[in-house]
């Protein structure tokens, strides 16, 4: 029913567009000057047709269930039920009305189910009536305005402005919502685990929290030495560091090659090929690291008499570095290419060679942008999950040996949230605390990166 | 400059053809450039005068699809020869561009750029001297001597162009090529640059491409007129402007086309 109504509104919207435009042509044929191009008349009518209808439609969708529930449950209001019990009754009612009820059917619930169904059908029909009358009223109003040739361009432009504003607002509100959901859980977490223990504790062992019997009262002391985040922060930065050791030199050099040395033909093929690397799903990198690179490193290490874990930070970091290469090479290629040709000419005309020009003029000029691209690469490295989960293990060792396994913030969040979770448990909340700290770290990095890039832009524009 | 009444020829171009891919941009250009004089190259847009200028320090090498044929003798040495060292050539032949293009470095680094890459200065003190004399010759020293370590991009357009001239003369080139050096500047800055050109010709041979007929008349001793990739006429500026042989030259100079 909703779908039919929805389609109907959309169709009406399109139809009114054509009517509006036709009206404009009619006005034009009377030698009157239009106040806007004919399609604006169409848009104007279509907007007036569809928008009020959609607003009523969505308000209805939001409030109908609540109102129906209130009315159905009003029968039980004086019988001393608790809220939870009322909710249960309502769920039973709904199930029964759908014919999916399997428990014992009481006359009370049967009566409620009937009431529920009749209320729903009243709601449906009144919705259709109200939406249709809204359409008729608003279209009539808009058609009158069009006929009197009043302005249509400004309202349409304003409407588009509002639509675009809503879109960006939605993106911003989502971000805010996510941050808030993180904040509240994080605060709950720090009520049990002292912030100091989290930030400076050197022992991360969330599995310990599994053994708690959830019926027991929460005893914070049992969590001491469980949620010390130092090892996983260290692991995160360590693996990111290894990744950047791979990605920065290779990415930068290939970026410079593409921008300055490669012929047009080579560049035409090489650039998309490098960018394909960015399109490979990280889980594929993950099993490449876990099944190919990890065992290879272990064998190599063993043959050299080193003890290498099959899941090593080196394997994860190295493969992560390869994943980041296209970001750095592509961005630095763009930055270098956007250095004005006049600077290159100036340097060549002084007798500088290509490499001198790159080293002394182009690289310094592009440096802010290159730093920006590197920082974006770093925040990707820090946020990367799959490769670490698959290739570097889940044990949060505090180590600086790249041949041992270590773990990162994101990998630990995965560990914590896989399988059964009890909400309100410090173990689950730890994931939020980790997520929050990760968010703060990458946020800072992104702010720095954006600032640097902005500073670079000011220089040439 | 005449020694014992004989013109000293610095650059001798013989039958120069230039191609951009398959398109020919210059046809059979032969032109002699006199030493320590200012030679102006004039002509309508796209006539090839800048292309010719860029042949003289082989800046066309930078453009992949560009190929140059013919002989260009500088001090009787053909720079289109395989044995020509482009780095040395460009040390001897400086260039100033249409749009001021100081490097995004300090003023000092801008001027010391050439001497550094050619290893001219032996000590910091010597470098300081080179920077000072170059800036003085470019008539910029008084304006910037207190802020040598600020970025060169912070100067005004005219100052930036003089900085670029200082950069070009820092390696004591024998020839300076100027590609419409004043087209991005206001009249006052233009006048300063023109004055400077007059001064510089004592020590350097100057070739200037310009769109402004008045400028060509003011600053140059010799003029070459290009049209559609051909050198239509060349000779002393006086003659070209007052009594040209060719009808096209006459029309261009009097503003009838171009």
Who has greater pLDDT, A426 or B216?
B216
Residue at A183 is within a domain: no
**Is pLDDT larger for residue A281 or for residue A415?**
A281
pLDDT: which is higher, B31 or A399: B31
User: Is B95 in a helix, a strand, or coil?
Assistant: strand
With a pLDDT cut of 90, the percent of chain A lying above it is 26
Distance (Å) from the alpha carbon of A363 to chain B's nearest alpha carbon: 11
pLDDT digits (tens, 9 = 90+) for B69-79: 999 999 888 99
Which of A107, A133, A150 marks a domain boundary? A150
Q: Which of A125, A150, A175 represents a domain boundary (last residue)? A: A150
Query: Do B197 and B162 contact (CB within 8 A), yes or no?
Result: no
Contact residues, chain B, for A459 at CB < 8 Å: 104, 153
- Count of beta carbons in the 10 Å neighbourhood of residue A423: 8
| Residue A240 domain-assigned (yes or no) | yes
Q: What is the pTM of this model?
A: 0.76
Minimum CA–CA partner of B95 in chain A: A349
In this prediction, residue A461 has a pLDDT band, given cuts at 50, 70 and 90, of: very low
Domains held by chain A: number: 2
Q: Are A375 and A445 in contact (CB under 8 A)?
A: yes
Determine whether the interchain pair A348/B62 forms a contact, defined as Cβ–Cβ distance below 8 Å: yes
Residue B164 and residue A346: Cβ atoms within 8 Å? Answer: yes
| Whether residue A146 sits in one domain with residue A19 | yes
* CB nearest B99 (choices: A342, A344, A356): A342
Same-domain pairing of A250 and A372: yes
Distance CA A274, CA A172 (A): 32
Lowest mean pLDDT among A3-12, A300-309, A329-338, B249-258: B249-258
Nearest residue of chain A to residue B114 (CA atoms): A350
Residue pLDDT, tens place only, A352-368: 999 999 999 998 888 88
Candidate from A342, A353, A360 with C-beta closest to B101: A342
Q: Give the pLDDT of residue A217.
A: 59
- B2 pLDDT exceeds 80? no
Supply the pLDDT for residue B55.
93
Per residue in A375-386, pLDDT (tens digit) is 889 988 998 888
Once rounded to an integer, what is the mean pLDDT over residues A6-30?
A: 89
DSSP E strand boundaries for A237-306:
none
Question: pLDDT above 70 covers what percent of chain A?
Answer: 93
Q: Is residue B159 part of a domain?
A: no
Mean pLDDT, chain A, integer: 86
Instruction: Record the tokens describing residue B146, joined without a space.
Output: 């207190």
Q: Give me the residues paired with residue B209 across strands.
A: B41, B179
Residue with tokens 């509100």: A173
Answer whether residue B123 is part of any domain.
no
- Tens-place pLDDT, residues B34-69: 999 999 999 998 899 999 999 999 998 888 889 999
**Least confident residue range of A44-48, A126-130, A218-222, B127-131:** A218-222
Find the CB nearest B90 among A349, A360, A365.
A349
| Spatial separation of the C-alpha atoms in residues A302 and B243, rounded to whole Å | 90
Binning pLDDT at 50, 70 and 90, where does residue A37 land? confident
B222 lies in some domain: yes
B77 phi and psi, to 5 degrees?
-120, 125
Q: For residue B145, what are the contacts with CB-CB under 8 A and spacing of at least 6?
A: B132, B135
User: Where residue A347 sits, what CATH number does that domain have?
Assistant: 1.10.3720.10
In a domain, A198, yes or no: no
Structural domain containing residue A71:
2-150
Question: Touching check for A352 and chain B: CB below 8 Å?
Answer: yes
Query: Residue B83: pLDDT band by 50, 70, 90 thresholds?
Result: confident
Chain B residue numbers with beta carbons less than 8 Å from the beta carbon of A264 are 64
Which domain CATH number covers B237? 3.40.50.300
Domain count along chain B = 1
A411 to A139, A246, A431: CA distances (angstroms): 56, 21, 10
Contact B97 A344 (CB under 8 A): no
Is the domain of A263 the same as that of A409? Answer: yes
Residue A423: predicted pLDDT: 67
Indicate if A367 and A283 belong to the same structural domain: yes
Summarize pLDDT for B169-189 with one digit per residue, the tens: 999 999 999 999 998 888 988
Structural domain includes residue B130:
no
Which pLDDT score, from 0 to 100, does residue A210 have? Answer: 59
Segments forming the whole domain that contains residue B17: 2-99+175-253
Domain membership of residue A394 (yes or no) is: yes
Query: Which pLDDT value is given to residue B24?
Result: 92
Tell me the ipTM for this assembly.
Answer: 0.91
Ranking A46-50, B3-7, B247-251 by mean pLDDT, the lowest is B3-7
Which of B103, B114, B153 faces A361 most closely, judged by CB atoms?
B103
A157 part of contact set with chain B, CB < 8 Å: no
pLDDT at residue A369 in the model: 84
Tell me the mean pLDDT in the region A81-102.
80
Q: Does residue A133 sit in the same domain as residue A232?
A: no
Any domain includes A188: no
Least confident of A108-122, A168-182, A202-216, B210-224: A202-216
Task: State the pLDDT at residue A2.
Answer: 79
Task: Return the higher-pLDDT residue of A115 and B209.
Answer: B209
User: Does position B96 have pLDDT exceeding 90, yes or no?
Assistant: yes
| Last residue of one domain, picked from the residues A118, A150, A182 | A150
- Does A178 map to a domain? no
In a domain, A9, yes or no: yes
Task: Answer yes or no: do A350 and A236 share one domain.
Answer: yes
- Give chain B's end-to-end CA distance (angstroms, integer): 31
Average pLDDT, chain B: 90
Task: Report residue B197 as tokens.
Answer: 């050109």
Give the pLDDT score at A148.
Answer: 82
3-state secondary structure of A96: helix
Tell me whether A353 touches chain B (CB under 8 Å): yes
Structure tokens at A403: 């041949």
A263 contacts A338 by C-beta, under 8 angstroms: no
- Do the domain assignments include residue B117? no
A95: number of Cβ within 10 Å: 15
Q: Is residue A231 part of a domain?
A: yes
pLDDT bracket for residue A94 (50, 70, 90): confident
Q: What span, in angstroms and rounded, lies between the C-alpha atoms of A40 and A145? A: 13
From residue B210, give the alpha-carbon distance in Å to each of A52, B166, B194, B204, B213. Answer: 65, 20, 12, 18, 7
| CA distances to A297, A417, B77, B97, B194 from B176, in Å | 60, 71, 17, 11, 14
pLDDT band at residue A212 under the 50/70/90 scheme: low
Report chain B residues touching chain A, CB-CB < 8 A.
57, 59, 62, 64, 86-91, 94-95, 97, 99, 101-105, 113-114, 117-118, 153, 164, 167-168, 171
Is the model's pLDDT at A92 over the cut of 90?
Answer: no
Q: Are the C-beta atoms of A415 and A370 separated by less than 8 Å?
A: no
- Asked whether residue A232 falls in the same domain as residue A111, the answer is no
Q: Is pLDDT at B129 greater than 90 in this prediction?
A: yes
Query: What is residue A216's predicted lDDT score, i.e. its pLDDT?
Result: 59
Nearest beta carbon to residue B114 from set A344, A351, A361: A351
Structural domain contains residue B25: yes
Question: A348 and chain B: CB distance < 8 Å anywhere?
Answer: yes
């Amino acid at each position: 029913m909703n779908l039919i109504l929805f389609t109907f509104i959309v169709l009406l919207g399109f139809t009114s567009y054509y009517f509006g435009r036709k009206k404009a042509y009619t006005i034009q044929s009377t030698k009157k000057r239009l106040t806007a191009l004919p399609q604006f008349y169409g848009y104007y009518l279509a907007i007036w047709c569809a928008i009020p209808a959609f607003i009523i439609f969505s308000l209805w969708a939001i409030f109908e269930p609540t109102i129906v529930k209130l009315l159905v449950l009003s029968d039980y209001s004086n019988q001393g039920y608790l809220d939870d019990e009322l909710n249960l009754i309502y769920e039973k009612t709904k199930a029964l009305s759908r014919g999916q009820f399997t428990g014992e059917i009481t006359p009370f619930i049967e009566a409620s189910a009937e009431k529920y169904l009749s209320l729903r059908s009243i709601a449906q029909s009144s919705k259709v009536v109200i939406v249709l009358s809204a359409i008729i009223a608003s279209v009539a109003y808009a058609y009158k305005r069009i006929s009197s040739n009043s302005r249509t361009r400004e309202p349409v432009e304003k409407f588009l402005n509002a639509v675009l504003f809503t879109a960006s607002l939605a993106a911003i509100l989502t971000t805010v919502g996510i941050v808030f959901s993180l904040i509240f859980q994080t605060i709950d977490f720090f009520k049990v685990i002292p912030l100091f223990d989290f930030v400076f504790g050197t022992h991360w062992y969330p599995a310990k929290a599994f053994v708690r019997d959830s019926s027991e009262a929460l005893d914070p002391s049992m969590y001491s030495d469980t949620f010390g985040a130092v090892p996983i922060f260290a692991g995160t930065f360590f693996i990111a560091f290894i990744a950047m050791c791979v990605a920065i030199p290779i990415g930068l050099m290939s970026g410079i090659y593409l921008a300055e040395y490669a012929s047009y033909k080579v560049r035409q093929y090489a650039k998309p090929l490098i960018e394909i690397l960015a399109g490979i799903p990280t889980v594929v990198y993950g099993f490449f690291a876990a099944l190919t690179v990890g065992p290879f490193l272990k064998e190599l290490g063993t043959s050299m008499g080193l003890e290498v874990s099959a899941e090593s930070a080196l394997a994860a970091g190295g493969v992560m570095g390869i994943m980041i290469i296209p970001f750095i090479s592509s961005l630095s290629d763009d930055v270098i290419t956007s250095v004005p040709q006049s600077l290159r000419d100036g340097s060549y005309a002084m007798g500088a060679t290509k490499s001198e020009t790159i080293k002394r003029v182009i690289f310094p000029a592009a440096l802010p942008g290159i730093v920006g691209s590197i920082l974006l690469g770093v925040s990707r490295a820090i946020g990367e999950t799959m490769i670490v989960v698959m290739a570097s293990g889940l044990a949060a060792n505090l180590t600086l040996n790249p041949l041992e396994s270590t773990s990162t913030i994101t990998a630990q969040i995965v560990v914590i949230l896989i399988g059964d979770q009890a909400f309100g448990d410090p173990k689950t909340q730890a994931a939020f605390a980790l997520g929050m700290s990760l968010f703060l770290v990458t946020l800072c990095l992104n702010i720095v990166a954006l600032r640097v890039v902005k500073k670079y832009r000011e220089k040439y524009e | 400059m005449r020694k014992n009444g004989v013109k000293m020829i610095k650059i001798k171009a013989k039958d120069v053809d230039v191609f951009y891919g398959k398109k020919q941009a210059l046809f059979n250009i032969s032109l002699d450039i006199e030493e320590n004089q200012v030679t102006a190259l004039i002509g309508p847009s796209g006539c090839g005068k800048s292309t010719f200028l860029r042949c003289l320090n082989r800046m066309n090498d930078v453009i992949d699809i560009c190929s140059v044929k013919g002989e260009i003798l500088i001090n009787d040495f053909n720079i289109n020869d395989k044995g020509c060292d482009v780095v040395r050539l460009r040390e001897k032949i400086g260039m100033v561009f249409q749009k001021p293009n100081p490097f995004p470095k300090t003023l000092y680094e801008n001027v010391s750029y050439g001497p550094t890459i050619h290893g001219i200065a032996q000590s910091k003190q010597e470098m300081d001297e080179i920077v000072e004399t170059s800036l003085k010759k470019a008539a910029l020293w008084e304006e910037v001597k207190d802020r040598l370590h600020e970025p060169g991009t912070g100067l005004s357009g005219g100052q930036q162009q003089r900085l670029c001239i200082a950069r070009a003369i820092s390696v004591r080139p024998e020839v300076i090529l100027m590609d419409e050096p004043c087209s991005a500047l206001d009249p006052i800055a233009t006048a300063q640059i023109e004055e400077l050109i007059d001064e510089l010709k004592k020590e350097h041979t100057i070739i200037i491409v310009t769109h402004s007929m008045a400028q060509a008349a003011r600053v140059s001793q010799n003029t070459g007129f290009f049209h559609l990739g051909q050198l239509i006429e060349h000779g002393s500026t006086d003659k070209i402007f007052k009594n040209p042989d060719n009808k096209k030259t006459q029309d261009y100079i009097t503003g009838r086309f171009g």
